[in-house]
Amino acid sequence: MRRLALFASVLGLALVAPAAGAPVDGFANQLAAERRALAAARAQAAEAEARAVQLDREAQGLRDAAARDRAALTLVAAQIQASEAGLAVISSEVALVDRLLAAQRARLAVQQRPLAEQLAALQLLARRPPLSLFAEPGTATDIIHQRAVIEAILPVIRARTAHLRDEIDRTRRLAAARRAVLDRQETANARLVEQRRELARREAEARRQAASAGVSAGMEGDRAVALAEDAGDIGALVERLEDAAVVRDRLARLPGPVARPGSMAGDGGPLATSPASPASPPYILPVVGRIERGFGDVSSDGTRSRGLTLVAPGGAQVVAPARGRVVFAGPFRSFGRIAIIDHGGGWTSLVTGMIAVSARVGDTVDQGAPLGRAGPGQPRIAVELRRAGRPIDVGALLS
């Protein structure tokens, strides 16, 4: 009877259904959030890739050498942003696969435990073969029960181990998918490094050409630095530069040899002029990233946002949101390196939070032209659009 009780305990373990491993609400919510992040990253990557393709198509049709050089810079910056967006997709895929793999391993561990206990019990029974049990004295009822236990337990164990093999195969497939995604990530990182080198080479060449042609923005840059030193805050700096831009526009309209500064936007600014290309919106975000604070959002210290703040990948490429003339480029107080672009007609963009600025005061930049670079980690890049000093919500201009 003692051995019959041992068989019964093994049968009991075999018939207990394994834990289904169904995700709890917290896991399900995290999984849903990661899937939404992946979908958003894929949409952003598709948009960045389409923009790069469009710019490449337009650059091939240019005849003017200077315009081709500017277009080449803008194209490389767009390709960098497309690569950054692609890497964001890969990072989201890695996070999602890691989440599924962790859940799968936890479920597998739960399902393996009762089977391990069954096998341990069977190992104990294996020390005395069932035939020897039947040869011992006992009632006919005991023998019938023992045979029934043996006949019942073996099919259950076979079914359980078959299900477990399926779970192990699923775990292996998830692990293989993770390795494949990491391989793609390594390739994408190498491509991004080469693109950044290409941009640095082209920017250096553009600076050499400007120097050989005698182009210098030294005096205007010095005036901008002086304004920054006198300005009490960033709002005051923007207002002073806007005033200077108004004076410059008035001088440009006077009859005589004073030329209007390079193909600037008309009186209406970005809203009243055609986009840089038929496929481009009037305004684009300066960096690939996730919007952390929207226009009008109130921070914990009670400050109302006058623009958008984006969380960007480390070292992200920052570009001009619309065509214009750089009127300030450099460090300013706690805002990091900033760039202020005059679009004409009283329209001004402010981009803050960069670790390095490649644009210079006096440069005429096309939409998407490189401005600078974000810092390491998860840098915050903020952008504000103003007209006559009044903050404007850029949401309506982005599509």
Strand-strand pairing, 290-293 and 308-311: antiparallel
Q: Is residue 88 a contact partner of residue 288, using CB atoms and an 8 Å limit? A: yes
Q: Is residue 354 a contact partner of residue 381, using CB atoms and an 8 Å limit? A: yes
Judged by DSSP in three states, 389 sits in coil
Q: Residue 337's beta-bridge partner residues? A: 331, 354
Q: What are phi and psi of 313, to 5 degrees?
A: -70, 155
| pLDDT tens per residue across span 8-21 | 443 343 334 344 44
Of 64 and 323, the structure prediction assigns the larger pLDDT to: 323
Confidence of residue 80 (pLDDT cuts 50, 70, 90): very high
Question: In terms of C-beta density within 10 A (0-12 exposed, 13-18 middle, 19 or more buried), how is residue 362 classed?
Answer: buried
The pTM of this model reads 0.74
d(CA 229, CA 145): 95
Average pLDDT, the chain: 78
Which residues, 6+ apart, have CB-to-CB distance to 86 below 8 Å?
45, 48, 49, 188
Q: What is the CATH number of domain 218-397?
A: 2.70.70.10
d(CA 290, CA 284): 14
Tell me: pLDDT of 42 over 70: yes
Of 29 and 252, the structure prediction assigns the larger pLDDT to: 29
Q: What are phi and psi of 193, to 5 degrees?
A: -60, -45
Q: Which amino acid is at 203?
A: E
d(CA 87, CA 44): 11
d(CA 309, CA 318): 13
Residue 175 to residues 30, 163, 172, 387, Cα–Cα distance (Å): 20, 19, 5, 53
Torsional sign, CA 181, 187, 190, 194: negative
Would you state the pLDDT for residue 142? 60
Q: Which two tokens stand for residue 159?
A: 């079914």
d(CA 22, CA 366): 53
Query: What stretch of H or E contains 239?
Result: helix 234-253
**Structure letter (DSSP) for residue 17:** P
Of 288 and 146, the structure prediction assigns the larger pLDDT to: 288
Of 22 and 286, the structure prediction assigns the larger pLDDT to: 286
Tell me: pLDDT of 93 over 70: yes
Boundaries of every domain in the chain: 2-212, 218-397
Which residues, 6+ apart, have CB-to-CB distance to 291 below 8 Å?
308, 309, 310
Most confident stretch, 186-195, 211-220, 343-352 = 186-195
Of 350 and 117, the structure prediction assigns the larger pLDDT to: 350
